[in-house]
A and B are shown apart, each in its own frame.
Chain A
Amino acid sequence: MISTFFGIESARRGLQVHRRSMETTGHNIANANTPGYSRQEAVHTASTPYTAPALHRVLTPGQLGSGVSVDQVRRIRNEYLDAQYRDNAANEGFWKAKADVAQQAELIFPEPLGRGIQSVMLNFFNDWHELNNNPQDAGVKAAVRESGLELASLFRQTYSQLDHVRESIAEADAVGNIIKGRVHDQIGQINGIVKEIQELNTAIERIKALGNQPNDLMDRRDVLLDKLSLHGELDIQVQSAAQNMISIKMFDSYLLDDNNNQQTLSATMDSNYNFTFVFGTLPPVPPSGTGYLAGLQKSITEVNGFINSLNLLAKELIEGVNATHNPKPPNSGNDFFTGDSASTIEVAGNIIATTANIDGNKALAVAQLRSVPIVNLNNGTMEGYYQGLVSEVGANSKTALDQLTNQLAIREQVESLRESAAGVSLDEELSRMVQFQYGFQASARMMAALDDMLDVIINRLF
């Protein structure tokens, strides 16, 4: 036998569930533009029918439905796309690091429109030709000195600019700890993000323990993981589905271990500009795989290579000009240049003081250094070597930019797939709103009808 008020109970449940759904729709609409938000859905389930079959059951024909309930509010999200997004983000981070640095390095070389080392070097040799045309002319000797000064200062300037780029990536203190530069900033960001994830992990665990669904916290954690994956390739493991705690590994070392303990990241650099990362108490590891940090490692090695090439070119120029201008044992006559690298090249004091120390008879031989292949410069001329360097800098920057553009396009695609599953569509929500509104109204109408019926029984029968 069912209760007199059974129908009222069903109608009440209808009202409640539709209100609940309205609220979820409202939450969705409010968060339509929140980054990382996944749309939520109140899952309607018909509540347990009256009654269960049993030996001594009340004999009523058929099963009687008892209305509706909301079992859970779930977030709609495709977890596989998250993994793809993060893989791609790590690649994007890698190429972004390379593109950032490569573009900075490229700006230092003003070719082809500006007056770069090649042009100034040619000018220097041309002035020696001019001196060969006028071997005794003090004015031409002064011009040779000036173009020598210009060339030396351009070498030093290019060196110091490249050195600044190198320092902007990472700068270490006396014992090798990285204390400045992009790597340092990155590590700060990573530690901050991991700290937040750790806190979210704890909160999620608590809510899960109460049997609730921490949708919004999980969204926030996913956003943080997206950000973190730009820095390095991540290995994310869910510890247990029930608690939904996660552990995170980067470079195969724990940033956040199985017990939700954070391993604070720090880094060191050796004299060859190789980074080593220290994860809390774990053994140090070199960077590997993709991600911004690995990209920075690659970039600093490349910039270092450019600097070495520039140094080598300067060294060959200094030695070549000195050996030709002053073929006596070193330091006994008038060397034209002093120094042995791009950072130390200077026109010799003797030459600066007295242009008469420039030997016009050697002018043609010095000018001809321009066309001499040099073994240490890959058997090419100085100009050819420099052209190779510029070309390499350009190719480096182009590859990084092209790859970054690709990664951004892929990101756009994955993002839109993800958005397709998880994003809020306003039209959709509005139609649901209308739907739930009518559901609510109908349930209320049902309640009113039952009220009328009971009114007849209770108030008017006798």
Chain B
Amino acid sequence: MRVTNKMIGNSLAYNIQVNMQKLARTQQEMSTGRRVLRPSDDPLVISRLLSIQGALESNNQYVRNIDDGLAYLYAADTALGTAGDLLHDAHELAVQGANGTLTKEDMAHIGEQVDKMIDNMVNLANTDLGGKYIFAGKRNNLPPFNRVDNTITYSGDFALIEREIAFDTPYQVAGPGVSDFTVTPSPEQGTFGWADSATPPINPDNPPFELRRDANNEYYGVFGTLFQLRNALYNGNPGEVNDALGRVQKEVDFLLQERVKVGARTRHFESVKDQILDHEIRLKQIELDLGSVHMEKVSIDFAQQTLTYQAALGAGAQILQTSLLQFLR
């Protein structure tokens, strides 16, 4: 092939340009440490990178959700534990009151203590976590339970407290303190009983609701039990106290079950959290493999490209200077 000066000049210019482009690219990869800087750098990898980035960001949120859920569960556990202790104390008082050796006045005194226990139980049901009342469903910015003499009202709502703790996996943290008896099928009894079904349907937007009472005009659940015990003691009737005693025992068991549920959820949350943290390490590893440069390889590439570039410049400069002109006189 015939070669001309312009060909050499053109191909030098072209090759210098190609070399510079490669060098610029390698330099960019080295200085950022990343292989995929724009979607076009690797369109196949970009969507995987994006979904990993998405997973990492949402994992952060899941961990926050779990931590928030765990705070709820720890608080609920403490509250239910204390409530159980309280019922144990009530049980002891009931045993005292039922043995038939006390005078009416003494029984009335014990009744007073039980009455204070009801206040105490209301306080426990109003346990809060930085201003969020944990047994109030989602209307949780105010204390949900309120006692006026012998009436207990509930001003929370009936929403389940749920947290999404993994992709597309919502999980219940706690039920509302009170279940809505008017829905069908009627749900399990809430930790502190049901809402009143005396005047259904309940308008959930219009609290407070009085708790539901049974045929004997007594509240279901722990409040009803404590009221029954108190009234029996006020009446000084050891037989009635004895009846109440059985109910107290049942409520102790019920609260224990609730507490076991809370414990099981706590364990689940903790293990999911461990999983997510573990998953995060693996995701970050994959992200690094996909998106970042292998520095050794890039350094070698860079050295080679620099060498080629310098050689091209050197050879080009030499050959362009040589011509017959220098030998003609």
Contact = CB atoms under 8 A, between A and B. Distances in A.
A121 B323 CA distance: 65
Given A106-B39, A113-B37, A416-B7, A390 B1 contact: no
A427 B6 CA distance: 12
Given A367-B164, A371-B168, A419 B10 contact: yes
B198 to A, nearest CB: 26
B162 A132 contact: yes
B2 A425 contact: yes
Interface string A353-370: 000000011001001101
Contacts of A424: 4-6
Given A132-B163, A364-B164, A420-B7, A111 B2 contact: no
Nearest to A401: B40
B14 A106 contact: no
Interface string A370-412: 1100000000000110111011111111100100000000001
B46 A391 contact: yes
B140 A111 contact: no
B69 to A, nearest CB: 8
Contact of B138 (A125, A361, A423, A426): A361
Contact of B325 (A390, A420, A423, A426): A426
**Which of under 10, 10 to 19, 20 to 34, or 35 or more describes the interface residues of B?**
35 or more
Interface string A90-123: 0000000000001100100101110000110011
B200 interface: no
B43 interface: yes
B323 A393 contact: no
A130 interface: yes
A34 to B, nearest CB: 9
Contact of A133 (B34, B65, B324): B65
B39, B47, B54 — most chain A CB neighbours (10 Å):
B39
A360 B161 CA distance: 12
Contacts of B32: 113
B5 A426 contact: yes
A456 interface: no
A209 interface: no
A430 B328 contact: yes
B50 interface: yes
Interface string A16-30: 000000000000000
Interface in B260-319: 291
Nearest to A122: B57
B83 interface: no
A417 to B, nearest CB: 8
B3, B4, B32, B328 — most chain A CB neighbours (10 Å):
B4
A384 B37 CA distance: 20
B43 A364 contact: no
A433 to B, nearest CB: 8
B88 interface: no
B44 interface: yes
B159 interface: yes
A134 interface: yes
B39 A391 contact: yes
Contact of A111 (B4, B11, B39, B64): B39
Interface in B9-29: 10-11, 14
Contacts of B40: 102-103, 106, 393-398, 401
Nearest to A424: B4
A88 B4 CA distance: 23
B17 to A, nearest CB: 9
Interface in A118-156: 118-119, 122-123, 125-126, 129-130, 132-137
Interface of B: 1-7, 10-11, 14, 32, 34, 36-44, 46-47, 49-51, 53-54, 57-58, 60-61, 64-65, 68, 132, 138-141, 157, 159, 162-164, 167-168, 170, 291, 323-325, 328
Given A390-B39, A391-B43, A397-B39, A135 B138 contact: yes
**9 tightest A-B contacts by CB?**
A394-B39, A395-B43, A423-B4, A397-B40, A394-B43, A136-B141, A371-B168, A387-B47, A398-B40
Interface residues of A, number: 61
Nearest to B162: A364
A445 B260 CA distance: 124
24 contacts: A103-B40, A109-B39, A111-B46, A112-B46, A113-B32, A119-B53, A122-B54, A126-B60, A129-B163, A132-B162, A133-B65, A137-B141, A368-B164, A387-B50, A387-B51, A391-B39, A394-B39, A395-B39, A396-B40, A397-B39, A398-B40, A424-B6, A427-B324, A430-B328
Contacts of B170: 364, 368
A169 to B, nearest CB: 19
A423 B37 contact: no
A416 B10 contact: yes
A383 B325 contact: no
Nearest to B142: A136
A413 to B, nearest CB: 10
A420 B44 contact: no
B14 A383 contact: no
Interface of A: 32-33, 102-103, 106, 109, 111-113, 118-119, 122-123, 125-126, 129-130, 132-137, 360-361, 364, 367-368, 370-371, 383-384, 386-388, 390-398, 401, 412, 415-417, 419-421, 423-428, 430-431, 434
Contact of B1 (A102, A371, A420, A430): A420
A132 B262 CA distance: 19
A112 B323 contact: no
Given A118-B53, A384-B51, A390 B162 contact: no
Contacts of A118: 50, 53-54
Nearest to A388: B47
A421 B60 CA distance: 67
Contact of B51 (A130, A361, A383, A434): A383
A113 B28 CA distance: 14
A416 B2 CA distance: 10
Contact of A112 (B7, B164, B291, B328): B291
Given A367-B164, A394-B46, A361 B159 contact: yes
A122 B170 CA distance: 17
Nearest to B290: A112
Given A129-B163, A420-B3, 17 more contacts: A32-B6, A103-B40, A109-B39, A111-B49, A112-B37, A112-B53, A118-B54, A122-B54, A122-B58, A392-B43, A393-B39, A393-B40, A394-B46, A398-B40, A416-B11, A426-B323, A426-B325
